[in-house]
Amino acid sequence: MRVLQISNTILWQWVLPVLLVLTALCCGIRLHGVPVRGLHRVLRETYGSILLRGCGRKQREIFASSLAATMGTGNLVGTALAVMTGGAGALFWMWISALLGMILVYAENVLAMQYRRQDASGNRIGGALAYLRYGAGKRIPAVFFAGCCIVAALGMGNAAQSSTISQTLTQFGVPVSFCGLLTAVILLLILNGGTARIGRVTVWLMPMLFFFYLLGCAVILIRHAADIPLIFLRIIREAFGFRAASCGFCASVLMQSMSIGLRRGIFSNEAGLGSSALLHMEADTEEPDTQGKWAAAEVFADTVICCTATGLVLLTASPQIPAPAANAASVLLAAFSDGLGSLAGGFLAVCMVLLAFATMIGWYPCGAACVRYLFGNKAEPVYLAGYGLICFAGALGSPDWIWQFCDLCNGLMALPNLWGMCKLSHILYWKPEKN
């Protein structure tokens, strides 16, 4: 247990933040700043096409499924932890992490689409599996990535989310075993229908959930509209180490705010892990640039929109955010109760349950693609059954070492992915915009 804790501390607090930022800068230079440069065009071609019905149903389903895997309970609890430990300035560095994340997922998907293949059974091999195996020409990193991804999908993408659902519902008197059984049955009914049913569910669930959560945040922020300009000033001031006008500059405040904000932002949007490209590999289009833009739009929705809304609710709450030792869930409840009153508990419970369930649905195709790559089609029914069993077991609770092990696998899958992106960064291209 101690070894896992130390490994996770080294990996998540020191190694990955540095590697993710360096990889994003490397790819960003190759891409001439795309997609951050010309962000308005990316949003117009993605969100605009959804609103105007200009994109096909398949693309909307992929977008919803990928957003489901990305947007989880970490958007709520992770943002609360960032503000509690890094101050208001951490929110600014989460925005910076979103810009870096947009570059990473854009590069991931461009590379993945360029090296996408079909195996002898007609299955598509895409994502990091494709550019590690066929681009970098290395089988071992691809196998290592696949193994870590399978464990991450079963652990953080499934068991941890099932645990969140049961812990949330037990507060309303629902037995833990019933929560686990019901969640597993509904999950298997959806997953058994394959990517087509997953797409139909997520394309209905994610817009409803996204706008339901933002509506709740909007109600609170409207009540505190007069405070919002001062909150933004506070975010900028603390982001660069200025706690208050009388205190002056503090380097430790700057470093803490930057470190925590970048880490929490990276954890929120999962950019650089390689999961995004695994979900986009089923797209019908052959244009890599298109999937890169859709992936960047997902990071924008996850971190810039959702996490910002959560952060502003926390920062406008009265009383102010308690000490870092406080529980993040209780801080969220206190902040939303300040604006929604007695409705806050039910509102957060619905959001937590649906976000966790959406994450379970979204992560399954990632693990399934890696299972097919390593063991073939015949192994997928076994994986599906195991996914259901892990869902039930997660609801009943598991030892801490399992969560630590899943955290480790979740981080380890980023290492070969980032190596492959850096190795192949020289072939990344950007598409000049037409005037």
Task: State the average pLDDT over residues 340-366.
Answer: 89
- 122 within domain boundaries: yes
- The pLDDT value given to residue 240: 79
- 78 within domain boundaries: yes
Task: State the average pLDDT over residues 164-175.
Answer: 85
- 319 within domain boundaries: yes
Q: Residue 38 has which token pair? A: 């010309």
User: Which CATH number belongs to the domain containing residue 293 in this structure?
Assistant: 1.20.1740
Task: State the average pLDDT over residues 63-78.
Answer: 82
- The pLDDT value given to residue 49: 82
In the predicted structure, residue 421 carries a pLDDT above the cut 60: yes
For residue 11, which amino acid is it? L
Helix (H, G, I), strand (E, B) or coil at 31: coil
Domain of 233, in residue numbers:
2-421
Return mean pLDDT, the chain: 84
Range from 27-36, 146-155, 267-276, 316-325 carrying the lowest mean pLDDT: 316-325
- The pLDDT value given to residue 199: 87
Residue 341 CB contacts under 8 Å (≥ 6 apart), including other chains: none
- 432 within domain boundaries: no
CA angle (425, 428, 429) in 5-degree steps: 155
- The pLDDT value given to residue 67: 87
Task: State the average pLDDT over residues 40-45.
Answer: 88
In the predicted structure, residue 387 carries a pLDDT above the cut 70: yes
Number of structural domains found in the chain? 1
- 262 within domain boundaries: yes
Q: What value does the CA radius of gyration of the chain take, rounded to a whole number of Å?
A: 21
- 427 within domain boundaries: no
In the predicted structure, residue 325 carries a pLDDT above the cut 50: no
397: how many CB neighbours lie within 10 A of its CB? 14
2, 241, 324, 416 from 405: Cα distances, Å: 11, 35, 25, 18
In the predicted structure, residue 264 carries a pLDDT above the cut 50: yes
Task: State the average pLDDT over residues 378-384.
Answer: 93
| pLDDT higher at 337 or 329 | 337
Highest mean pLDDT among 80-94, 157-171, 295-309: 295-309
- 286 within domain boundaries: yes
* DSSP-derived secondary structure for 370-425: HHHHHH-GGGHHHHHHHHHHHHHHHHH---HHHHHHHHHHHHHTHHHHHHHHHHTG
| pLDDT higher at 400 or 407 | 407
- The pLDDT value given to residue 245: 47
| Beta pairing partners, 118 | 124
Which stretch of DSSP H or E encloses residue 124?
strand 124-125
For residue 360, which amino acid is it? M
Tens digit of each residue's pLDDT (9 = 90 or more) over 241-251: 665 544 555 65
- The pLDDT value given to residue 85: 76
Tens digit of each residue's pLDDT (9 = 90 or more) over 193-232: 888 888 889 989 998 999 999 999 999 999 889 989 999 9
Residue 435 banded pLDDT, cuts 50, 70, 90: very low
* DSSP-derived secondary structure for 270-310: -TTSSHHHHHHTT-S---HHHHHHHHHHHHIIIIIIIIHHH
- 106 within domain boundaries: yes
- The pLDDT value given to residue 318: 63
Residue 259 banded pLDDT, cuts 50, 70, 90: low
Tens digit of each residue's pLDDT (9 = 90 or more) over 81-130: 778 777 888 888 888 888 888 999 999 999 999 999 887 777 788 899 99
The candidate with the shortest Cα–Cα distance to 321, out of 83, 31, 22, 79, is 83
Q: Are 110 and 428 in contact (CB under 8 A)?
A: yes
Q: What percent of the chain has pLDDT over 90?
A: 29
